[in-house]
Structure 1
């Protein structure tokens, strides 16, 4: 297995959001709005990119070829499986061997998350449409937490609390995974650099489509929330649904009364919908080139959509990465402008 394939596979794993494992999603509120909002944002970004290309009359050329990641080797399954079994048994018999339960649970929770992705990535394509590898990460970690909580009689909530502690001096498995996000984003930069000539050639459609998509996402969410009669605090909480969790939480902190837990749920649900259905939807809409496909995916489904599409279409990764970053940047900038923020609040009511 070459280093590039290994790095890209690890990148897919670490695009998994630990918030998904520990939070309880408010599905009844989010499902329909997330699905409709994701599809609308995808259409706006994709069709805008194509329209701007026609206006500026930029000829589409082929992207630099990108190698697809190889499948996981049996030795990788056996290695992580052995780590999981050994650390799980050790944590049962020595619950505070490393000083705290979070550190004791860290090895088997981390191993279960990685194993979940390995199993999910090997599922047939038809099954992945329902059970995406990102979902498998959360399910496997949750199952490990339930099993340990039952056997140790500590309860699943306590184990999930050890999964994502958000304390640097006592990190859990989720905190370790979050620590790799910087490396993942840096790996995106290498992919973008390889396609630098194509990025420069299509700069107009890339930037304009992302700006319009970001504005559309914010204002359409506010308007739909008002029309369907959602509580203003609820609507405000889901405004940054198409922006990665870390930046979305910073954005909603600008709005008084927003619920950050609901924000995280909205972002993750939107990303999961995009990760599962993005490729089929892009094909139905006849988005053929990697630029339109990459921009539409990341502008509507942030990191989870990026991981899902780039695993199957690595040539779209640079444009997913650009849209992923710029959507967060422009979304943060727009909500920081008092006039735009007040107009959103006025629409929300």
Structure 2
């Protein structure tokens, strides 16, 4: 960063370092500008070759662990073995005992079933997570179904859902055959047209298994109510299951409510969600988040139409009716433009 390069006084020994730092920042900036210029050229109808080189996709990987730093360090080292893919964001929530990684890579026009940097990096993350984390020892107030709870691929720039679906299907097949974990597909990657929330509902995701607010330990049964798309039909309590899908961009926006009245916050979440007659394309649930806070945790399926600001206003309105106070909400990831820009900076090094 330029701020890190600033210096004062006649320290001539710093000049070579300063020049290199400024040059590096200049190259990164030019690389990002060239990327956006190429995208604009494609959008104007030209530059087919440039379009093919600007196909990007990201995978969001949600892991049921945040407090075991040694495990997370091993997971991140595994991802770095694939330099064409980059972790552009990491969101740790120690209260939920959950971490989310956003990994980005370029795609070819026809991604290979055998080799793809994005798939390879995500597979490495999954493999190490399963080796270093015991699902039976996990406890938290965020619902989950496995060590690696959820992986979602999103097309960026000029990639398509079909291209990212190829990556998702190939990853699911590898996880099922090589790591022996039941894997379920949804969205554009699923042949049955299943939605994420419907698969989760059938697998018991929304029902706390240890009291009214806590998810603790692994599955109480080795049998599954659904047949997985890949992997065994029996579930290991130390690993759980994995859901993998492909959709257009989904944003996660959480609003803290300063109350321990979980029933009241669940009522708010129900009335915010489309399923409960609330905002279109919004899914929401109430989750305990620490000793004095309960969150309205939202998935925004069409964030360009219903964004965080609208969620915030609606939660505040409903909370007022319940006599509760609300804090400022937050997103758990960057927006797509920021993800692309950060990837371009990292890949230009």
Task: Please confirm whether the aligned pair reaches a TM-score higher than 0.5, indicating the same fold.
Answer: no
Larger radius of gyration: 2
Give the structure with the larger strand fraction.
Answer: 2
Give the structure with the larger helix fraction.
Answer: 1
Using the size of structure 2 for normalisation, the TM-score is 0.28
Of structures 1 and 2, the one scoring higher in RCO (CA 8 A, sep 6+) is: 1
Using the size of structure 1 for normalisation, the TM-score is 0.28
